[in-house]
Amino acid sequence: MTKTGEKPRVGIIIGTTREGRFGDKPARWIENLADRHGRLQPEIVDLRDYRIPFFDQPGSPAWVGTHHDEGKRWERKMGELDGYIFVTAEYNHGPSAVLKNALDHAYNVYNKKPAAFVGYGMLGAARSIQQLRQILIELKVAPLRDAVHINAAEYFGVLREGKSLDDYPHLAETANTMLDELAWWTIALKAARTEIAAAAA
């Protein structure tokens, strides 16, 4: 942390945009847990708020930047954050196309920041999360081992039976373990980035 008492900013990225999506529920749930956890400053980042076109640039944002206005706005937001929590569904064993497309519209602003995951659906979106880890490694993000997997029983309990995620205390236990790890890595990597930037100035 760069200032005494300043909490690192962590974006909770809702990774789908379709009508009737489930993702709002786990996003608000993990935001509340992160608030109570106390070591991070969470902020929901909704892909619905970014009308990012399909990636069609002549080169990678790693080399030529981002050309589209909405892509630039996304890039600025990602640059403001010190870490990420991706709230992801699983579409055909992978993350949504809109999330992958958004990630493709930036590069350098992600570097040397940690990412954690909350997945929901069949198998708790385990395959989607695993693909996201591989994508994020290429973006020089540090993906964490610990993740929250909201499996079919919890998913349908919330969707069809009127329950909330708070009715499943094992999910909160897993989430708090993940938040402990995310806080450690976010603080450590922010301090390292700050030190290296100061030395290079």
Tens digit of each residue's pLDDT (9 = 90 or more) over 115-159: 999 999 989 999 999 999 999 999 999 999 999 999 999 999 999
Predicted pLDDT at 29? 98
Burial 146-176, CB ≥16 within 10 A → b, else e: ebbbbbeebbebbeeeeeebeebeebbebbb
* Residue ranges of the chain with per-residue pLDDT less than 70: 1-5
Question: pLDDT at position 1, please?
Answer: 38
Q: What is the pTM of this model?
A: 0.95
Q: Both ends of the chain: CA-CA distance in Å?
A: 18
What's the confidence (pLDDT) of residue 124?
97
Q: What is the pLDDT of residue 84?
A: 98
CB of 55 within 8 A of CB of 86?
no
User: CB under 8 Å to 196, separation ≥6 — which residues?
Assistant: none
pLDDT at position 108 is 96
Q: What is the pLDDT of residue 3?
A: 52
> How many angstroms separate the Cα of 76 from the Cα of each of 69, 70, 107?
11, 10, 11
The two three-digit tokens of residue 145, written as one number: 């081992």
* Structural domains of the chain in order of their starting residue, each with its CATH number: 9-200 (3.40.50.360)
Residue type, 49: D
